[in-house]
Structure 1
Amino acid sequence: MRELPILFSAPMVRAILDGRKTQTRRVCKDQHLPGHKPSLLECPYGKPGDRLWVREAWRVPVSLDDLSGKRIAEKCLQAGYRSPWCPTQYEADGARTSEKDWREFGPHPSTTAPGRYRHARFMPRWASRITLEVTGVRVERLQAISEADSIAEGLLRDREGWRGAPDLPWFASPLAAYRSLWESINGDGSWDANPWVRVVEFRRIEQEAKAA
């Protein structure tokens, strides 16, 4: 079993936490010639049974703002902890580790304000709160997605229909809503390009940090 990182935006993190998102599609780098299907052996997201740890936007106490995630880990180990750790806040939903710990790390006992914004790409393994188990991997054209799979990508549903994220429009069709979500992430025209994508199916197996 391997553990591999995977990055998600805030709306998709919330969809995972809500149990709405159990699939993700990522453009294959090896598009090759028309009609040539990229190999599953080259999938950077593992195979069934492997685990993915989610990278998302995060913050730590302002007292640690000058330190990178790697340096925080080093100082933690130097202090005698068995594994890297520090109070963490997650941008997707504002969830934090223990408020008591936040007070201890703050510049003043009554100050628990978070520090600077840290992009998801800079999240180290120790700070990740979401771990996923890969249950399936396949390669297909983007537009081959079904309505059921569109919904499994984490769509929101209301009386007005479907949409991919809170800031996107509503659509009557899950497919149209997913197309809107895809293009909001990958740019105008990316749907019409109909690239080969790797479809990664997963289930959430743990939550490593919870709001206090």
Structure 2
Amino acid sequence: MKGIIFTKENFLLTIKGLKTQTRRIIPEKVIEKFYNYDDRVSSVGKPDGIACIRLYEEDFLPQFSRYKVGEIVYLKEPYQHAIVHEMVGYGYFYGCDKIEDYSCDLSWFREMSRDGSSEWQERWNKYEDEKMNKLFMPEIAARYFIKITGVKAERLQDISEEDCLLEGIKIGRCGNESKWMKAFYAPDDNQPYITAKSAYEEVFNRINGKGAWRINPFVWVYDYELTKQF
């Protein structure tokens, strides 16, 4: 099973069901595949002289997407090996949870099979008190999963106001009680924006680097929903 990484803010929005869409920049090597295909189709015709049917970017690129419609993907997050002696249990402590004393609160605890406990003890001894990088989180440690429900390709700046809301942009207002106006906000940010698109621009630049929005790259647009592991 493949994993997917979100920022902490987008991870929390996803598990709360407040974010159901994500955009990922399409690698340059995939874009080159399209340009090579486009050159080939433009220069080759059928024997009867009728030109080949040409696929445009939005039709050609999705076949190379990392995630496919119907696929189950696990969410990666910081994690830590844990042993609860009172339960004689073995499991994980997760870094996105704000639990100060997890020895007294077991709501975070995901118990693993007690088979092979010696192997788990060995891993715990090795990684005790060490927060593991979410980049390397294995499927077995995952607790949240999403199902891909839609895949398409488009230019980044073609995002609609509606899709910005699916990306986790919040609707609010700014001003005072007597004089206020509708506004849009990026996650964990109190800076108001006039449009959802301008708020999403801030989010995208924050994740992908200053100026990433201006480049207007091709992106894969993934729609998804929370689901259980199968």
Shared fold, TM over 0.5? yes
The structure 1 residue matched to 2:24, chosen from 26, 35, 58, is 26
**Structure 1 residues without counterparts, runs of 5 or longer:** 64-84, 107-113
CA contact 1:138–1:199 (8 Å) conserved in 2: yes
Quote the residue 1:118 is aligned against. 132
The number of residues matched between the two structures is: 173
Q: Indicate the residue corresponding to 1:50 in structure 2.
A: 71
**SS of 1:197's equivalent?**
strand
- With structure 2 as the length reference, what TM-score do the two structures score? 0.66
Partner AA of 1:17 in structure 2: I
Question: Identity of aligned pairs, percent?
Answer: 27
Q: Larger deviation: 180-189 or 115-124?
A: 115-124
Deviations 1:51-103 (A, max 9, x none): 1111112223399xxxxxxxxxxxxxxxxxxxxx94222222337533999xx
For 1:92, which of 96, 99, 112 is the aligned residue?
A: 96
Please, which runs of 5 or more residues in structure 2 have no aligned partner? Answer: 39-55, 100-106, 113-119, 122-127, 175-182
Q: How does 1:181-192 map to 2 (within 5 A)?
A: 181-192=203-214
Q: Secondary structure at the match of 2:152?
A: strand
**TM (normalized to structure 1)?**
0.71
Tell me the distance in 1 between the aligned counterparts of 2:111 and 2:147.
31
Structure-1 separation of matches of 2:8 and 2:109: 21
Q: Is the 8 A contact 2:92 2:110 kept in 1?
A: no
Per-residue deviation at 1:159? Answer: 3.0
Q: State the AA in 2 paired with 1:31.
A: I
User: CA deviation digits over 1:159-189, x for unaligned, max 9?
Assistant: 3332222147332311111000000000111
Relative to structure 1, is the Cα distance of residues 86 and 26 closer, same or farther in structure 2, using a 3 angstrom cutoff?
Answer: farther
Structure 2 Cα separation of the partners of residues 91 and 158 of structure 1:
29
Q: Does 1:138 align with 2:152?
A: yes
Q: Which amino acid aligns with 1:203?
A: E
| Higher helix proportion | 2
Query: Equivalent of 1:39, from 46, 61, 64?
Result: 61
Q: Which runs of 4+ in 1 moved over 6 A?
A: none
Q: CA 1:144–1:97 in structure 2 vs 1: closer, same or farther (change >3 Å)?
A: same
* Bigger-Rg structure (1/2): 2
